[in-house]
Amino acid sequence: MHHFQYRGDQLMCEEVPIDRIAQEVGTPFYLYSHATLTHHFRVFDQAFADIPHIVCFAMKANSNLALLKLFADLGGGADVVSGGELYRALKAGVPPGRIVFAGVGKTREEMDYALKSDILMFNVESSEELRLLNEVAGSMGVKARVAIRINPDVDPKTHPYISTGLKKSKFGIDISVALEEYRVAEELPHIQVVGVHQHIGSQITEVTPFVDGLVKVTELIVKLRQRGFTIDYLDVGGGLGITYKDENPPVPRVFAEALIAVVKDLGCTIVLEPGRVIVGNAGVLVTRVLYNKSTPAKHFTVVDAGMNDLIRPSLYGSYHSILPASRKAGKETVVTDVVGPVCESGDFLAKDRSMPVTDPGELLVVMSAGAYGYTMSSNYNSRPRPPEIMVKGDRYFTIRERESYEDLIRGEQIPPEL
Ligand SMILES: *Cc1c(COP(=O)(O)O)cnc(C)c1O
């Protein structure tokens, strides 16, 4: 369910015609619906109401401060994967006690920053990381709360780039050697073991891989407790998929029921790290048609947003539905590649898409762009990044300004010796 629907022939975001926002802020721009974000967060959170839990929103999906503040106000926390994300979370007012820190390459500086901030826990991915964390915590005279990320070796049946729980993956500790890793942690005086973590991948559209992973992790928790470890937190990661085209992922209630059935007797606080499922369909990218171009082989619709703004189609071959902001009657259908201005053949938003012909100046709305959209954007081709706009009811707010040419060269210097 989302609040991007046609009223007559006008595509609206809640109560505001997208066309009107485009006239006022220019194109391209990202657009989010406050009501959709709120609804998605609440539905997910309430699905787990029967057990103690914390929803730590996975910030890498969308790290805008306004969104983080919204989720924090709804009782959410944050799953961070860098010092920069931790900085954003704290700036947005996310309580440190609801922040977890993941990632295979945490630096000494990032550990120091997170320990000073007194976050809930580190999700640790290797013995060397454990030892460094112990050293950093020791030098500060504190103990680091730790969950070890377990790789349960399950196939999430998603794109290989976003599968993280297979045996050959760089993530986590292989479940077959997990007990040894916990023994390493036990020997370290400045490490306090508090939990177990898993995260098996992203855009997962079935419940089975989550349940299979959790069954293995639950067995591990039983063994750990027999050996005297205190396991208060079970972090089940994120990864629940959304509908981009015709996928049929379980709704949060169904997902939650399946997970709760596995974990309910453990007495752990369940940490959840949803990203895409909260924000994916709560945001769109709005772009303007610049030109139609036909070659002997193909038809192209050239628009003013490119792979630097939304890289998912180029990077993963992802499908995003593309809709006109104003529907026009009697248009012929054309099979076209929707491409951006970037000087790469990989710069496309859609390939061989059958859609109504659009004239220069018309607006196209790239749907399901709220997750891994802006956060993966770049300045490639020295293109200023687009603004982010949030609609709330019949009003809209700029939650990040469009970059200027000056922003593009900020920090650059030409040494006088040159
Ligand atoms: C990316 C990531 C998530 C979020 O994944 P989604 O598919 O967006 O829900 C959660 N936890 C970790 C550790 C991640 O790396």
Query: For residue 371, which atom of ligand 1 is closest to its CA?
Result: 8
Same domain, 66 and 21: no
Q: How far apart are CA 34 and CA 3, in angstroms?
A: 9
In a domain, 220, yes or no: yes
Q: What is the mean pLDDT of residues 156-175?
A: 81
DSSP string, 21-72: HHHHH-SSEEEEEHHHHHHHHHHHHHHTTTS-EEEEEEGGG---HHHHHHHH
Tell me how far CA of residue 94 lies from CA of 41, 80, 90, 276, 346, in angstroms: 15, 11, 5, 19, 37
Same domain, 116 and 263: yes
Same domain, 137 and 257: yes
Residue-range definition of the domain harbouring residue 84: 34-277
Does residue 13 have an active-site annotation? no
* Alpha helix ranges (H) inside 170-207: 178-187
* Candidate of 54, 60, 124 to mutate for ligand 1, largest count of ligand atoms within 8 Å of Cβ: 60
In this predicted structure, what is the pLDDT of residue 142?
Answer: 98
Task: State in Å: Cα 203 to ligand 1 middle.
Answer: 9
Same domain, 269 and 286: no
Same domain, 90 and 156: yes
**Which of 13, 56, 268, 343 does the annotation list as catalytic?**
343
Q: Tell me the per-residue pLDDT of 262-275, one tens digit each, with 9 for 90 and over.
A: 999 999 999 999 99
Contacts of 357 (CB under 8 A, 6+ apart): 292, 331, 332, 333, 334
Q: Whose CA is nearest to atom 3 of ligand 1?
A: 238
Which CATH number characterizes residue 121's domain? 3.20.20.10
What's the pTM?
0.96
Q: Is residue 156 over pLDDT 90?
A: no
In a domain, 417, yes or no: no
In a domain, 415, yes or no: no
Same domain, 196 and 338: no
Enter the tokens of residue 23: 């006239």
Domain boundary among 230, 249, 277: 277
In a domain, 41, yes or no: yes
Q: How far apart are CA 386 and CA 377, in angstroms?
A: 9
In this predicted structure, what is the pLDDT of residue 234?
Answer: 98
The one-letter code for the residue type at 176 is S
In a domain, 114, yes or no: yes
Enter the tokens of residue 403: 């970059």
Q: Tell me the per-residue pLDDT of 187-205, one tens digit each, with 9 for 90 and over.
A: 999 999 999 999 999 999 9
Q: Bigger pLDDT: 231 or 170?
A: 231
Domain boundary among 233, 254, 277: 277
Same domain, 238 and 287: no
In a domain, 345, yes or no: yes
Q: Is residue 162 over pLDDT 80?
A: no
In a domain, 414, yes or no: no
Q: Tell me the per-residue pLDDT of 49-79, one tens digit each, with 9 for 90 and over.
A: 999 999 999 999 999 999 999 999 999 999 9
Same domain, 267 and 290: no
In a domain, 255, yes or no: yes
Same domain, 8 and 64: no
Domain boundary among 209, 243, 277: 277
**For the chain, give me the number of helices (H) and strands (E)?**
12, 21
Same domain, 167 and 68: yes
Percent of the chain at pLDDT > 70 equals: 100
Q: How far apart are CA 288 and CA 362, in angstroms?
A: 6
Q: Kindly give the pairing relationship between strand 283-294 and strand 29-33.
A: antiparallel
Same domain, 197 and 84: yes
Ligand 1 lined by 102 (C-beta under 6 Å):
yes
Residue 211, CB-side half-sphere exposure with 13 Å CA sphere: 14
Report how many domains make up the chain: 2
Enter the tokens of residue 352: 């061989």
| Phi/psi of residue 341, nearest 5 degrees | -85, 0
Which CATH number characterizes residue 319's domain? 2.40.37.10
Ligand 1 lined by 238 (C-beta under 6 Å):
yes
Same domain, 321 and 402: yes
Contacts of 195 (CB under 8 A, 6+ apart): 121, 146, 147, 231, 232, 233, 234, 235, 268, 271
In this predicted structure, what is the pLDDT of residue 124?
Answer: 97
In this predicted structure, what is the pLDDT of residue 222?
Answer: 97
CB count, 10 Å around CB of 394?
8
Mean pLDDT in the chain?
A: 96
Query: For residue 277, which atom of ligand 1 is closest to its CA?
Result: 9
Task: State in Å: Cα 201 to ligand 1 middle.
Answer: 7
Task: State in Å: Cα 79 to ligand 1 middle.
Answer: 8
Q: Is residue 163 over pLDDT 90?
A: no
Give the 3-state secondary structure percentages of the chain, helix then strand then coil, rounded to 5.
35, 25, 40
Q: How far apart are CA 204 and CA 162, in angstroms?
A: 9
3-state SS class at 119:
coil
Q: Tell me the per-residue pLDDT of 309-365, one tens digit each, with 9 for 90 and over.
A: 999 999 999 999 999 999 999 999 999 999 999 999 999 999 999 999 999 999 999
Beta-bridged to residue 391, according to DSSP, are 33, 396
In this predicted structure, what is the pLDDT of residue 102?
Answer: 97
Confidence of residue 167 (pLDDT cuts 50, 70, 90): confident
Task: State in Å: Cα 199 to ligand 1 middle.
Answer: 7
Query: For residue 372, which atom of ligand 1 is closest to its CA?
Result: 8
